[in-house]
């Protein structure tokens, strides 16, 4: 399952998120979205977890929790229209 993680601190790295989400199961990839002009994080990322049960556990546990000073928004990613 592809998971959207929003309202991130701009200094959060892919390793930070991988370590956080691995507490709930296997993480196959993490992508922090970077602004091409400034080379700075846009404040959101996508985490891919192959097991839907583990992914849903992570979403339930982490949505709204404080991570590095900001309350994360965590939910299943929706396809771009």
Model confidence over 23-69: pLDDT tens digits?
Answer: 999 999 999 999 999 999 999 999 999 999 999 999 999 999 999 99
Which domain CATH number covers 36? 3.30.70.330
The residues near 9 (Cβ < 8 Å, ≥ 6 apart) are 43, 67, 68, 69, 70
Domain count, the chain: 1
Quick check: is 81 in a domain? no
**Which two three-digit tokens encode residue 49?**
């977890």
Range of the domain at 44: 2-76
Model confidence over 6-31: pLDDT tens digits?
Answer: 999 999 999 999 999 999 999 999 99
The pLDDT, as a whole number, for residue 80 is 75
Length reported for the chain: 81
Quick check: is 66 in a domain? yes
Residue written as token pair 């309350």:
71
Whole-model pTM?
A: 0.93
Quick check: is 26 in a domain? yes
Neighbours of 71 (CB within 10 A): 11
**Which two three-digit tokens encode residue 18?**
């991988």
Neighbours of 41 (CB within 10 A): 17
């Amino acid at each position: 399952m592809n998971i959207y993680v929003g309202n991130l601190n701009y200094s959060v790295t892919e390793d930070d998120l991988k370590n956080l989400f691995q507490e709930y199961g296997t993480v196959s990839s993490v992508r922090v979205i970077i602004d091409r002009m400034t080379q700075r994080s846009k404040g959101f990322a996508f985490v891919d977890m192959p097991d839907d049960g583990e992914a849903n556990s992570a979403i339930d546990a982490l949505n709204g929790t404080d991570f590095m000073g900001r309350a994360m928004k965590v939910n299943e990613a929706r396809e771009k229209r």
